[in-house]
Amino acid sequence: MIRLQVSSGKVENFFDTVSHGIFQTGRVNNWRVNEDGYICATSVLWLFCWAYNGDNSLKAMKETRQIFNNIFSFSFKFFNERVGYDYANRNRYRKRNIEEELKEMLEL
């Protein structure tokens, strides 16, 4: 799991500012963080996909990219170079455990 750099409450406040309805619906099912501030790999991938293309909304893309850059110890650009959209898109809803795989890709 990857640790948030801000509180989960602050992340929720950031998420509240995203005006895209599909994002708001999706966050309920796809954003999973534990009480210690660790987030599962699929949640990181889900948010990255929003930051990459905003579900074809430039506004949502910009909003979620800014959030991505504010909540992790790595940037969107770094994540894109190491992981990329194709991997994220294929694995964001993955049921099997990909925690270690993602950490290796990020060299964490």
3-state SS, 32-99, equals CECCCCEECHHHHHHHHHHHHHHHHCHHHHHHHHHHHHHHCCCCHHHHHHHCHHHHHHHHCCCCCCCH
Q: In the prediction, which pLDDT does 37 show?
A: 85
Whether the pTM exceeds 0.85: the reply is yes
**Segments of the chain with pLDDT less than 50:** none
* pLDDT at res. 11: 96
Give the pLDDT of residue 35: 84
Residue 95 is predicted with a pLDDT of 85
Tell me: the pLDDT tens digits for 6-31? 999 999 999 999 999 999 999 999 99
What is residue 108's predicted lDDT score, i.e. its pLDDT? 76
